[in-house]
Amino acid sequence: MQRLRRTMMFVPGNNPGMMADAHIYSPDSIMLDLEDSVSMAEKDAARLLVHNALKTIDYGTTEMVVRINPLNTPYGKKDVEAVVKAGVHVIRMPKTETAEEVKELEEEIIKVETELGCVGRTQIMAAIESTLGALNAYAIATASKRMMGIALGAEDYCANLKAQRTTGDSPFFGMELQMARQCIVTAARAAGIDALDTVFSNLNDMDTFRREVEMIKAMGFDGKSIINPRQIEVVNEIFAPKEKEIEIRAQRTIDLAIASGILTKEDLA
């Protein structure tokens, strides 16, 4: 059965209290962050905190993701070693632009997994945060069998695009992200993996947040990255399958079973 990834909640990797409590809000996935939310001076300490959290906190069935620093920084490979040894489910790559970057990360994961005797355990997720990444979305999505999803990082993408983020009162709301979203969700569908939308940071504008979630659901996304537990209920409500969707999926399943010979029309009579 495919895992639900409606909500992937960001938690700073340098905040022990938030890491200890994040699972009580029941997001589908928790993403412990070692990249943008952690200052350079705290990188090593945060890595140790995240390692210990993964080893000691009972997160139950929640999917555990860690966003590492890029491999071309002094921190990236150390991040990979620490979180793979701690048993993380998914490593999220920041600022992914090429398939080669995915393969480089996979090589680093294999080194650690080989040492542990658990090759194949760790999955990969890529964050698309530039125009080049958006154009290469399908190559990135299919670069490794470990790839479970791709996500949009809107702030860096817009900076790279030289575009301004629109607000809820703009008649052009969301236009600056339209192409990137379409590239990502189309690539994910073609590759058979999940697509997650970017965060919405204005917690005082839940009406616009709801509009954005409804929009990305209609576009075909599987879920949304979030920054606060208050956002979980809205996302789960919108992504809950409607009765008509359930009927359509059930009929498709029956049609496939008949076409493959598993069922006959007489069996359903």
> What are the tens digits of pLDDT across the range 24-40?
999 999 999 999 999 99
Half-sphere exposure of 269 (CA within 13 A, CB side): 4
Q: What average pLDDT does the structure give for the chain?
A: 93
Task: Look up residue 218 and give its amino acid.
Answer: A
What six digits make up the tokens of 123?
């999955």
Question: Is 244's pLDDT higher than 70?
Answer: no
Which pLDDT band, with edges at 50, 70 and 90, does 65 fall under?
very high
For 148-170, what is the mean pLDDT? Answer: 94
Evaluate whether 17 touches 49 at the Cβ level (below 8 Å). Answer: no
pLDDT surpassing 60 at residue 13: yes
Q: What is the pLDDT of residue 181?
A: 98
pTM for the whole thing? 0.88
pLDDT higher than 90, residue 252? no
At 210, the pLDDT band (50, 70, 90 cuts) reads very high
Q: How far apart are CA 142 and CA 64, in angstroms?
A: 22
Per-residue confidence (pLDDT) for residue 259, from 0 to 100: 72
**156: pLDDT confidence band, cut at 50, 70 and 90?**
very high
Q: How far apart are CA 115 and CA 118, in angstroms?
A: 8
The span from the CA of 151 to the CA of 52, in Å, is 26
| Mean pLDDT across 154-159 | 96
pLDDT, average across residues 111-140: 98
Confidence check: pLDDT of 186 > 90 = yes
What domains are defined for the chain? 7-241 (3.20.20.60)
Q: Taking a C-beta distance cutoff of 8 angstroms, is the pair 45, 189 a contact? A: no
CA distance 121 to 91: 11
Q: What is the pLDDT of residue 58?
A: 96
Q: What is the pLDDT of residue 267?
A: 63
